[in-house]
Structure 1
Amino acid sequence: MSYNKPQSQDEKWCHRAETTNLLALSIAQIHMSLTEGDNSIDTLTESFQKLANFCIKVENLAKEDKAEQGNQEIIRLAESMSSQINEAIVAFQFYDRLCQRLEHVTTSLNGLADLLKDDAHLTLPDGWLDLREQIRQQYTMQAEHQMFELIMQGHSPEQALEQFKALLLVNNNQNDIELF
Structure 2
Amino acid sequence: MIELPAGGSAARNPDLDWSQVRETMLMLGIAVAQVKHAVAESNASLNALAFSFADTHDRIESLRNDLLAQASSLPAELDLDSKIAEIGQRNMQAVIAFQFYDRLSQRLDHVCGTISGLAELVSDRNRLYVPSEWMELQDRIRSQYSMEQEKKLFDDILNGMDIRQALSLAASMVPVVSDESAGPESGDIELF
Percent of paired sites with the same residue: 29
Partner of 1:92: 98
Q: Which runs of 5+ in 2 are unaligned?
A: 1-11, 179-191
Shift of 1:144: 0.9
2:82 paired with 1:76: yes
Partner of 2:177: 178
C-alpha distance in 1 between matches for 2:177 and 2:15: 51
Partner of 1:126: 132
Partner of 1:5: none
How has the CA–CA distance of structure 1 residues 63 and 71 changed in structure 2, closer, same or farther, with 3 Å as cutoff? farther
2:113 paired with 1:107: yes
2:175 paired with 1:165: no
Shift of 1:116: 1.3
Q: Tell me, yes or no, if the aligned pair for 2:147 and 2:176 is still in contact at 8 Å.
A: no
> Which of 64, 68, 91 is 1:59 aligned to?
64
2:31 paired with 1:32: no
Shift of 1:77: 2.2
C-alpha distance in 1 between matches for 2:53 and 2:15: 57
Q: How many residues align?
A: 166
Which string of whole-angstrom CA distances, capped at 9 and with x for unpartnered residues, describes residues 68-112 of structure 1? 217843323221111110111111100111111111111111011
Which amino acid in the other structure matches residue 17 of structure 1? R
2:145 paired with 1:139: yes
Higher relative contact order (CA 8 A, sep 6+): 2
Which amino acid in the other structure matches residue 52 of structure 2? S
Give the match's secondary structure for 1:92: helix
How has the CA–CA distance of structure 1 residues 49 and 130 changed in structure 2, closer, same or farther, with 3 Å as cutoff? same
**Structure with the higher helix share, 1 or 2:** 1
C-alpha distance in 2 between matches for 1:178 and 1:152: 25
C-alpha distance in 1 between matches for 2:163 and 2:172: 14
CA RMSD for the aligned pairs? 1.9
Give the match's secondary structure for 2:79: helix
Which amino acid in the other structure matches residue 164 of structure 2? E
The ranges of structure 1 where at least 4 consecutive aligned residues each deviate by more than 4 angstroms after the TM superposition are: 10-13
Partner of 2:156: 150
Give the match's secondary structure for 1:140: coil
Name the stretch that deviates more: 71-80 or 33-42.
71-80
Q: Which has the larger radius of gyration?
A: 1
Q: Which runs of 5+ in 1 are unaligned?
A: 1-7
Q: Tell me, yes or no, if the aligned pair for 1:63 and 1:71 is still in contact at 8 Å.
A: no
